[in-house]
Amino acid sequence: MNASASETSSRRRAATLDVAVVGGGMVGTAAALALARAGLDVALLEACPPAVWSAGDDLDLRVVGLAPSSLTLLDELGVWTSIRAARAGRYRHMHVWDAGSGASIDFDAASEGRDALGYIVENNLVQWTLWQALEAAGVRRLCPAEVTGFAARGDRIQLPLAAGETLSAVLLVAADGAASPLRQRAGIGTHGRDYAQRAVVAHVGTERPHGQTAWQRFLVTGPLALLPLADGRSSLVWSLPEAEAQRVLALDDQAFRDELGAASDFRLGRITRTTPRAAFPLKMQLAERYQAGRFVLLGDAAHAVHPLAGQGVNLGLRDVAELRDTLLAARLAGRDIGAAHVLRCYARRRRSADTLDALGFDALARIYAWQLPPLVAARDLGVRLLDRLSPLKRQLSEHAAGL
């Protein structure tokens, strides 16, 4: 039976479920796979299937820095070995420096007893590998599928679909992105701030090798990161004010390479080549709550953070691990996995952790935007002290790693 026929057959069978996950991005797909491997009857609903990943294609511009906590989850799900073997750029070091004061801080995996600080991997490689693992785990892939609403009916949630079918699930998980239609239907608001910036992204070749190092420079206009890719190039993430981002996008390749070289302080020498550029808007957004009845939020539907620390997807995958562990504990104790008191445990823990991280990244972005000389001097002193305080620096690194 081909994939399309198999998924059509699944749609016909999908009447009652333990969990319905809406949203087939990295976090939603990981959630469906994790819950199925925990023994739950799961369906994943997605409007469009992921693009097929092929080693023969150029690297996707959208990459993610996977922290050790994410690697652990992906390994538990049985997909990390395939992802790493396909195309993953390990980074052992991180060098962060301030354009305003020159102060810098370094992180090194070996000094922390680890093989790597993380891996830079294409989004679509992770998503495609997870998607391919769903069928063997027993997840019902309903694609294309559109949820037109949901309603609580006693101990279950009813989900009418645009195709005319209705699903029934003990729990509904929304992983449908930052604009989450399901979150809005649940009446859950958000708060945060628009940074009035865009992150310009590209893959670039450099005169000197990246040395398995993630390089990040804080400029007055925002942070610039060069992240090591498996093929020897670096992935650029350059946060700029809206107008400046548009100007940089409009530059010809030579002018862009020259400006990027200067902006990166030529730490990797001249920029020798570049892919076409793209950009995406930056904002911080937190859902006011992560749970309503038999409904919970995951990933970008729950939180969006500044990319300066590269933690967006990692926070989402930590949501997945927390939800899986919460539901598994409830099931082993003979409790209703969709009961409000069970889901509140997940919601309270993850919202607290995500809020702390989001506000921390926001504070860091504000601190590095300081331009008054006394404030720059204070920032310089703080960074230099942190680099010398090994226990505190190690604690900061372990927090970012999710250890």
Please check the confidence at residue 240 and state whether its pLDDT lies above 70: yes
Nearest Cα neighbor of 223 from 120, 107, 99 is 99
Please check the confidence at residue 289 and state whether its pLDDT lies above 90: yes
144 upstream amide cis, omega within 30 of 0: yes
**pLDDT of 131-177, one tens digit each?**
999 999 999 999 999 999 899 888 999 999 998 889 999 999 999 99
Two tokens, residue 394: 């190690």
Q: Which residue matches tokens 């239907």? A: 185
Dihedral angle at the C-alpha atoms of 123, 124, 130, 131, nearest 10 degrees? 150
Mean pLDDT of 375-393: 60
Give the model confidence (pLDDT) of 61-119 as tens digits: 999 999 999 999 999 999 999 999 999 999 999 999 988 778 888 889 888 888 999 99
- Give the helix, strand, coil percentages of the chain, each rounded to 5: 40, 30, 30
Is the CB of residue 224 less than 8 Å from the CB of residue 238? yes
The pLDDT confidence band at residue 397, using thresholds 50, 70 and 90, is: low
* pLDDT tops 60 at residue 342: yes
CATH class in words for 3-366: alpha beta
With a pLDDT cut of 70, the percent of the chain lying above it is 86
CA distance 166 to 115: 48
State the average pLDDT over residues 193-206: 94
pLDDT surpassing 90 at residue 363: no
Angle between helices 68-76 and 80-87 (to 10 degrees): 120
Contact 36, 139 (CB under 8 A): yes
**pTM summary value:** 0.88
309 — pLDDT class (breaks 50, 70, 90): low
Per residue in 249-270, pLDDT (tens digit) is 999 999 999 999 999 999 999 9
Q: What is the 8-class DSSP label of residue 24?
A: -
Query: Quick one: pLDDT band at residue 2, thresholds 50, 70, 90?
Result: very low
pLDDT of the residue at 12 = 40
Q: What is the DSSP string of 29-81?
A: HHHHHHHHHTT--EEEE-SSPPPPP-TTSPPPS-EEEE-HHHHHHHHHTT-HH
Tokens of 96: 């962060």
At residue 100, the pLDDT reads 78
SS3 356: helix
Q: In sequence order, what are the residues at sequence separation of 6 or more whose Cβ sits closer than 8 angstroms to the Cβ of residue 47?
A: 143, 144, 145, 146
Q: Is the pLDDT of residue 192 over 60?
A: yes
What pLDDT shows up at residue 1? 38
Q: What is the pLDDT, as a whole number, of residue 4?
A: 45
The sign of the CA dihedral 94, 99, 101, 102 is: positive
Closest by CA to 291, choosing from 243, 345, 370, 221, is: 345
